[in-house]
Amino acid sequence: MNKDVIIACDFASPEATYAFLDNFKDEKPFIKIGMELFYAGGPEIVRELRRRGHRIFLDLKLHDIPNTVRKAMKVLSSLDVDMVNVHAAGTIEMMRAALEGLKEGRPDGNRPLIIAVTQLTSPSEQALHDQLLISESINDTIIKYARNAREAGLDGVVCSPLEAAIVKDACGREFMTVTPGIRYPDAAKDDQSRITSPARAREIGSDFIVVGRPITAATDPVAAYRRCCADFLGK
């Protein structure tokens, strides 16, 4: 799959999502459906957005015992999305089970890409030390989680754009990095700690950037999306 900009459609209802996407007359952007929207609209919103021609990253971050995750991924595979994810903290065994579930659900071999969340972009390194008792540096933790994901057979990881290069160095150039935490220097950081711009994410080595409020809250979201594409994809 080629590099792309993924719009995080973090809306509270299907209606708000459809109204937002109706702005895009000439494009069918790759979109992320996260927990808020999936819980509001259920599987039907995924099916409807697929019918409308959108590629979909279903961002539910599964994290449970391996058997539960395997069964859940088998069900999710029927939604015909392009990308799904789990938390890398769930262990190699859990990640392998997730991949097995996708393969069971799509025996034709046309499964979604599956990636693992290393660390969310909101916590600082100090918070990881103080609140989660992670004594290693954030970079060392992310490299270890990424290597675990690769060992489990996953396609890549979610990390902040600041860590994309070290993940590539540790796991190989073909190992995919999907990076939220995208902000322009003239924009608010909101609740993100480890951030950078689309152009810098491209330079560091991100394969996909996930962009939410800089597009969805923009006065002209189509123009904001096109700016991100120009900066990240060079077009």
Q: Are 142 and 166 in contact (CB under 8 A)?
A: yes
Token look-up 């299907």 returns 14
DSSP secondary structure of 12-44: SSHHHHHHHHTT-SS---EEEE-HHHHHHHHHH
Please tell me the distance from the alpha carbon of residue 57 to that of residue 51, in angstroms, as a whole number: 15
CA angle 46/94/84 to nearest 5° reads 20
Question: What is the sign of the dihedral through the CA atoms of 187, 202, 88 and 147?
Answer: negative
Count Cα neighbours of 193 within 13 Å in the Cβ-side half-sphere. Answer: 13
**71 noted as active-site residue:** no
Query: Per the residue annotation, which of 32, 61, 71, 144 is the catalytic one?
Result: 61
Q: Which residues pair with 157 in a beta bridge?
A: 116, 177
Contact residues for 169 (Cβ-Cβ < 8 A; gap 6+):
none
CA dist 37 to 14, 17, 23, 178, 200, Å? 7, 8, 18, 20, 29
Residues identified as active-site? 61
